Amino acid sequence: MTSSAIDVAPILETILDGRTKGIPATTAPFALGDIADKNWNVLREDMPLPLMVLKRSNLDYNAHVFLDYLSANSLSLAPHGKTTMSPQLFDEQLRHGAWGVTAATINQVQVMRHYGVSRIVLANQLVGKSNVLSLVADMNSDPGFEFFCFVDSIDQIENIQRHLENTVQSRPIGVLVEIGASGGRTGVRHKEQAMAVIKALRAAPDQFSFCGIGAFEGAIPGLEQSATPVNDYADLIIEIISDTPQSAYADLDEFILTGGGSSYFDIIAERFKTLKISVPVRVLLRSGCYVTNDHGACRTAQEEARQDPNRHWNSEFRPALEVWSYVQSLPEPGLGFLTMGKRDVPFDAGLPMPFKRYRPGAGFLDVGECDIFSTNDQHAYVRLERDSDWKVGDMICSGISHPCTAFDKWRFIPVVNDEYDVIDGVLTFF
């Protein structure tokens, strides 16, 4: 890896104290960059639980696995920054070859811009006065800032234009026309709509620059049954682009074709690579969750991809997030409670899964049969064997399902080595 891609040094100067979840009150305020000097170790109970940690070794492993895949397949990556909203992780992703970073909101763009990300895809509709004016002011202040957003309707174009009337634009806003699937999320549904939007964009060249097509296959109908709808959706997109008059893009240096979340990026990549038009095509994936993967929905999606003979994904990401909590109460045989809840762990795509147990003074113990079946704000309910030997004060390590709703519950996340020494820390900006 090269040195910093963006300027995250100011983050390391952030002063942390006991107001931040994960920092003990017994510590004097200190700069994040000095955290390794604390010589904290999670197993030694130097930090308060609950605590979500990032495992350095698995972060690095995933970065290299994905880089290898992208290189072997001539793909570009603008990892979805909404997953982590951690500029320090954006920096790692850019140093590992990411072409840009993806955002879901203008506020996320603002965080990325603050730390110097120079190429951003807003994979969402830009709309509204403050959002438009904030973006244009930023574009005007930095000629090196490359920006693209999704557009899927004439109404949206007119909304942006109404706000542009009150400002001066140094250059047009880069636009990717979003194609959606019927019954799915945002995006035009038919070729005719796509053509109409492209035409309206090209009719306002001082305001907009049509740069390609955007898609998201993770929110189309039918995925609960199989991955087949992804193929159909990708085919629709290829068909629409193939049918688009060449004049719509003939003046582009390259045509951006972007899709690919964390579950079906391999299918999207395979299909999108088949597009042949008169200008070079940049197939741009936007996966966000590969960076940490998980023990739940992401892992399952990876396994399904590997087991499907029609798919070409044979690698494996490793889970880099763990949440540690204490057994706080065992009030009845077969029932236990952990000191973590909705404020600490995701609960939208499966509950956390305990997989390690550590007893201070005794070391690692078998975690046994256990199942988290509910969470309150700050409690996890665990079903145990009636003769479980869990004890109040045992430290339980759980994997999570859905990194996006794990990161947003922590402003500070320690980075640990395999011995659980705290060797670094990242901040998030949600």
- Nearest alpha-carbon partner for 414 in 426, 400, 399, 398: 426
To a copy of itself, the closest distance from the beta carbon of 73 in angstroms equals 26
Question: Helix H segments across 188-347?
Answer: 191-202, 228-243, 265-272, 297-307
CA distance 50 to 265: 33
To a copy of itself, the closest distance from the beta carbon of 355 in angstroms equals 20
Handedness of CA 131, 81, 67, 151 (dihedral sign): negative
To a copy of itself, the closest distance from the beta carbon of 247 in angstroms equals 26
Q: What is the CA radius of gyration of the chain?
A: 23
CA distance 193 to 179: 9
Query: Residue 153 or residue 258: which is nearer to a copy of itself going by CB?
Result: 153
> Strand locations in 89-216, DSSP E?
101-103, 119-125, 146-151, 173-178, 208-214
Query: Residue 282 or residue 352: which is nearer to a copy of itself going by CB?
Result: 352
To a copy of itself, the closest distance from the beta carbon of 399 in angstroms equals 20
Query: Residue 283 or residue 367: which is nearer to a copy of itself going by CB?
Result: 367
To a copy of itself, the closest distance from the beta carbon of 150 in angstroms equals 9
Residue 138, H or E segment: helix 129-141
To a copy of itself, the closest distance from the beta carbon of 423 in angstroms equals 18
Query: Residue 310 or residue 329: which is nearer to a copy of itself going by CB?
Result: 329
To a copy of itself, the closest distance from the beta carbon of 136 in angstroms equals 9
Query: Residue 111 or residue 240: which is nearer to a copy of itself going by CB?
Result: 111
- Nearest alpha-carbon partner for 416 in 324, 352, 354, 328: 324
To a copy of itself, the closest distance from the beta carbon of 204 in angstroms equals 16
List, in sequence order, every residue forming a beta bridge with 324; answer none if it has no partner.
51, 397
From the centroid of its chain, how far is CA 387?
40
Query: Residue 104 or residue 252: which is nearer to a copy of itself going by CB?
Result: 104
Query: Residue 118 or residue 315: which is nearer to a copy of itself going by CB?
Result: 118
CA distance 218 to 203: 32
Query: Residue 69 or residue 90: which is nearer to a copy of itself going by CB?
Result: 90
Q: Which positions ≥6 away from 309 have C-beta within 8 Å?
A: none
